Amino acid sequence: MKKIYALAFSLLVTLSAAAEVGTVSLWQVTPGKNQEAIARTTAFAPIMEEITGAQISVGMDQFNTIHWVQVYEDWEAWGKGGDALGQNNSEKFAEHIAKYPRTTPPIMTLADRFELNLVKMNSTDNANVSWITQWDSRQGQQQTTIANAMQFVPVHEKLGGNIAISADNLGNVYYANSFENWADMGRWIEVANASEDVATLWASLLTEEPVAEAVKHYRVRWFVQP
């Protein structure tokens, strides 16, 4: 979905002016370089936390893509983090650059980067794996998409899920369900598939004109967390 950036950014700010915000960078890893990518980003995370003041999470999905997430208290903190990153930090980066020099071809390539408003945070520290669904809202329907997603939170969490919801500046809404491990996720999927409450909620929404389309599903294992 393409929109004028200024309009999209304005929408993003109005979603939740005082909420936590984040920057997500998606890095496509070169085949066969997974372990090197994990080592580099794991070592890089504490340096970036020190410089920017962000809380950083790093994970890898089923497409061998690194999910690098920087979370800030608010937009002012986000801006201060950007200012700090723009200063001369060569001394702080020196050891990392010496240990992990650039390679040709690169170990990973930036595939996407975007900002998020964190509409609803998850409620546990045991979020080691996540299933994230990206919903692309129809024009002008992002708020409705968020409202619909919020209806699923109590139903899914009653079944043992742990939900976080965020929204970007391009009309996308991200619905993340996190668990301690893949086995717990698998058990939850079986329970949810058999749940009458889930089926009833889906049925009530399907009677209306669709406001969003599920465009991608990420299964992420987190190896760096705040």
* pLDDT grade for 19, boundaries at 50, 70 and 90: low
* pLDDT grade for 21, boundaries at 50, 70 and 90: very high
How many domains does the chain divide into? 1
* pLDDT grade for 226, boundaries at 50, 70 and 90: confident
Mean pLDDT over 148-174 rounds to 95
What CATH number is attached to the domain comprising 108? 3.30.70.100
Mean pLDDT of all residues belonging to the chain? 89
pLDDT at 12 over 50: no
* Domain interval for residue 201: 5-224
The tens digit of pLDDT for each residue in 87-129 reads: 988 888 888 888 888 888 999 999 999 999 999 988 766 789 9
> What is the C-alpha to C-alpha distance for residues 66 and 36, in angstroms, rounded to an integer?
12
Amino acid in the structure at residue 100: Y
CB-based contacts of 67: which residues, under 8 Å, 6+ apart?
24, 26, 57, 58, 59, 60, 61, 218, 220
Pick the residue with more confidence: 184 or 92?
184
pLDDT at 147 over 80: yes
Mean pLDDT over 45-63 rounds to 96
Distances (CA, A) of 139 to 4, 11, 184: 12, 12, 36
Mean pLDDT over 15-33 rounds to 82
Mean pLDDT over 73-77 rounds to 94
pLDDT of residue 83: 96
